[in-house]
Amino acid sequence: MKVKRNMAYKPQYGPGTSKVAENRRKQMNPKQKLEKMRDVTDEDIVLILGHRAPGAAYPTAHPPLAEQQEPDCPIRKIVTPTEGAKAGDRVRYIQFADSMFFAPSHPYQRTYTEAYRFRGIDPGTLSGRQIVECRERDLEKYSKDLVNTELLDPARTGIRGATVHGHSLRLAENGMMFDMLQRSVLGEDGIVRYVKNQIGEPLDRAVAIGKPLDEKWLKAHTTIFHSLGGTPYRDDKEYIEYVQRIHTLRTKYGFLPKE
């Protein structure tokens, strides 16, 4: 799809003068390249996702678009299908839980980031978890980005399809976020390995996703305001002003406010 390059408005992505706000904008802005932190292979991603066996063909939900008659629809002419849609893949998901203790991303942030950066997705935002659904082929490509870049910390971000509880709890003694199913384990060598897939089924081999990032890095790259040890929300005056303005306007909306 062609995007109009010279739009009248330059997207701002979000308000705020604090470091946290800046990190949020950085993640959302598709022109900013996300820092690559680790190298998890395609096969490892497929194992963690647990939707198909590595190397197996993609099961399909419908015949490839090229083989089926498309109705005469103006929208279909404008929008180029993604690779997964073209091939008729099933819709599958990846879900994340982010610890409140300075995880690099968090549910709302993830949804904004994905909506700006990826195509053909359906994100779902909840308080403690964020799920993104799309065609399987696309999902694997996007998941690789989500896992390999600075959006994920091996200790404080969990790839959890079910039983996500833990984002608001204290961390464990070794710094890992609580996980009832203990999908990822911190080894003696300091490397975090997934021993179960995202729904908690044991994997044939452990998938290493690297060392947890240190506290200093996390505090510099977090997108979470936190008054205990981090950047308190109330310190970012511009952010507060923006949120209050939106709140006021939507409260008064029924009375047709004029600015």
Partner 1 sequence: MTDAIYPQVRIVSARFLRPDTVEQLLNRLVQVGGIRRMSINGPSIPATVPYGPARGQPNPHPDRKVIRVGDQDVQLRVQVGTIILEIEDESYIPVIGEAVDEVFADKDFSCTVQQGRYMKTQPTLSDYAKYGPDADKQILGLVDPRRKDGPVIIQGTK
Q: Give the binding site for partner 1 (CB under 8 A).
A: 161-163, 165-166, 169-174, 178, 180-182, 185, 199-202
Q: Which residue's CB is nearer to partner 1, number 121 or number 199?
A: 199
Taking the complex as a whole, the smallest distance from the CB of residue 179 to partner 1 amounts, in Å, to 9
CB atoms within 10 A of CB 163: 15
Exposed, middle or buried, 177 (CB in 10 Å: 0-12/13-18/19+)? Answer: buried
State the amino acid at position 33 in one-letter form.
Answer: K
Taking the complex as a whole, the smallest distance from the CB of residue 147 to partner 1 amounts, in Å, to 21
State whether residue 195 is helix, strand or coil.
Answer: strand
Residues paired with 159 in a beta bridge: 96
Q: Which residue's CB is nearer to partner 1, number 113 or number 197?
A: 197
**What is the gyration radius of the CA atoms in the chain, in angstroms?**
20
Report DSSP letters for 111-138, one per residue. Answer: HHHHHHH-SS-EEEE-SS-EEEEEEHHH
Taking the complex as a whole, the smallest distance from the CB of residue 231 to partner 1 amounts, in Å, to 20
Q: Which residue's CB is nearer to partner 1, number 173 or number 204?
A: 173
Taking the complex as a whole, the smallest distance from the CB of residue 161 to partner 1 amounts, in Å, to 7
Taking the complex as a whole, the smallest distance from the CB of residue 40 to partner 1 amounts, in Å, to 22
Spatial separation of the C-alpha atoms in residues 160 and 158, rounded to whole Å: 6
Q: Which residue's CB is nearer to partner 1, number 21 or number 48?
A: 48
**210-227 burial string, b = 16+ CB within 10 Å, else e?**
bbbbeeeebbebbbbbee
Q: Which residue's CB is nearer to partner 1, number 29 or number 163?
A: 163
Tokens of 30: 């598709």
Q: Which residue's CB is nearer to partner 1, number 34 or number 103?
A: 103
CB 17 within 8 A of CB 237: yes
Taking the complex as a whole, the smallest distance from the CB of residue 131 to partner 1 amounts, in Å, to 13
Length of the chain: 259
